[in-house]
Amino acid sequence: MANYPPDVTGQFTPFALFRAYPHLASAGAFYMDVWPLNAPLLVVFDPAMMAQFSQDTPRPKHDLVKREFRPFSQNLDLVTSEGQTWRTWRAAFNPGFSAQNIMAHIPVFMEEVLVFKAYLGRVAATGETIRMESQLMKATCDIICRAVLGVRMHIQTKPSPLYDSLKSCIALLIGDSSPRMWPRIFNPLRPFLIWNHNRIMRRELLPLLEAQLKEHDESEVHGGTSTSSSTTGLKTIANLSIRAYRNERVNLDKGNKEKAAREFLEVAVEHLKMFLFAGHDTTASVLSYAYYFLHRNPSHLAKVRAEHDAVFGPDPSRAAAQLAAKPTLLNQLPYTTAVLKEVLRLSPPVGSVREGGPDFFLTHPESGTRFPTDGVILFACSFLSHRHPGIWAEPDKFVPERWLTPDPEQREKEARLRKNAWRPFELGPRACIGQELALTELRLLLVLTVREFDVVPDFPEDAPTVFGEVGYQADLPGELTAHMKGGFPAKIVRRQHVASTA
């Protein structure tokens, strides 16, 4: 790793070893001893072998993840909880995160995207260089709050104690024992600071959840005719989850609705904090890479813009009104979707880690080689499986067309080859619950910005590169997952032939 920049993301290390020792490709997995930074890893990149511990026999999340997020969410969230607790809450939240419900929210999401678009317009007028991810994170937080709570938080435009405490708390979490974590590990004030940030987030979120609960109860009093946000007529994720959760808990608690309500509020706060973290963090990173790769590949950018012209007409200022009237237009963008899938293939924000066990072995599907897993971290390395030359043609190239193969026979062949290989949201019962929301946000943000603005990367001339990319994935101060180097420094240029609408 001495040949690479010191801040390159940790999930790049197995990939660098894989490229340095090509014979590893046939093994499907390899052990990596990272002592004293962490427990040994079993890095798994064969799709069938990854499925063995995430889909066929889902293993528990490794204690590494639970320790990391325990100070943040007390392990009450969907990422780190297990067993019946996880099943109860996953079932409660599934209706709110359904494709149908997310699609219904597009008009209100658009209000937040237009705030972001206006910001791009102001930046374009000044010519300044911005840290693109910073504003994208605020925009995605605003969108998540609309989906979950049905309220406008104005994080993009006003000071936000909720957002500030969220970011500050994340910056204090400990993922491993590497040197970049030492300032957190040896910070004597860390426990108090985390407690205080959690207190502020709870103070901001609890009244909003209580309002959702009150609205739900009032709708039941009136015969259950409405379980929707009083201001928009939409069914929020929180509101839809209340009925499912309460029904199960009331059955267990012999009709004690008040107890079920108190429990819902206590735990829902922790879930919402995790939704905000996971949603704002990864979505902002992926959209940054979408802008980055499209700028570096002008022919693909032209195809995206042409598709948007075909669906929404040549005047980009009309797209918002069209989507408000007909949100399903967002489903008529196959090339844009292919671009996003390719971005997720090349730049997955994070992999997945599970717990091994004395009686659990991984088996190579062809050689039959068995890998013991006791005492190791099972690491489903999507960064590696997404660039495996045995699965993907030209694995390091940005080729959205690979997702649009016209020939049915070739398409079926590729689907068999790629089965379980593309997993930016993970696969199996614990796949990311918010993937439909994320993809909707990403398409919406591109539709409303990419025809009016050029997002131009603005890295220093002497910036280091990784495999020729100056915008490589890095471990940034204060973040937990992989982000673009420098938070994506960029200039915004308004396209000359497009009228000003921001």
Phi-psi region of 313 (alpha: psi -120 to 50; beta: other; left: phi over 0): left
Q: Distance (Å, rounded) from C-alpha 383 to C-alpha 351? A: 7
CB 109 within 8 A of CB 333: no
Distance of CA 42 to the CA centre of its chain: 24
432 is in an annotated binding site: yes
How big is the chain, counted in residues?
A: 502
Q: Which amino acid is at 51?
A: A
Which candidate, 149, 178, 179, places its Cα nearest to that of 162? Answer: 149
- Using CA atoms, how far residue 277 sits from 340, 456, 480, in Å, is 21, 27, 10
Return the beta strands (E) in 287-342 as ranges.
none
CB 317 within 8 A of CB 462: no
- Nearest alpha carbon to residue 101 among 447, 437, 439: 437
Q: Coil, strand or helix: which one is 391?
A: coil
Pair type for strands 377-380 and 41-44: parallel
Check: CB of residue 265 under 8 Å from CB of residue 318. no
**Distances, alpha carbon 501 to alpha carbons 49, 119, 447, in Å:** 50, 12, 14
- Which element (helix H / strand E) includes 457? strand 453-457
Pairwise CA distance, residues 7 & 447, whole Å: 32
Query: Please, are residues 246 and 267 in contact by the beta-carbon 8 Å criterion?
Result: no
459 burial type by CB count under 10 A (0-12 exposed, 13-18 middle, 19+ buried): middle
Of 329, 343, 213, which is closest to residue 286 (Cα–Cα)? 343
Rounded CA separation 104/442 (Å):
16
Residue 483: which H helix or E strand, with range?
Answer: strand 483-484
Nearest CA to 210 among 161, 154, 151? Answer: 151
Annotated binding site for heme: 432
Annotated binding site: 432
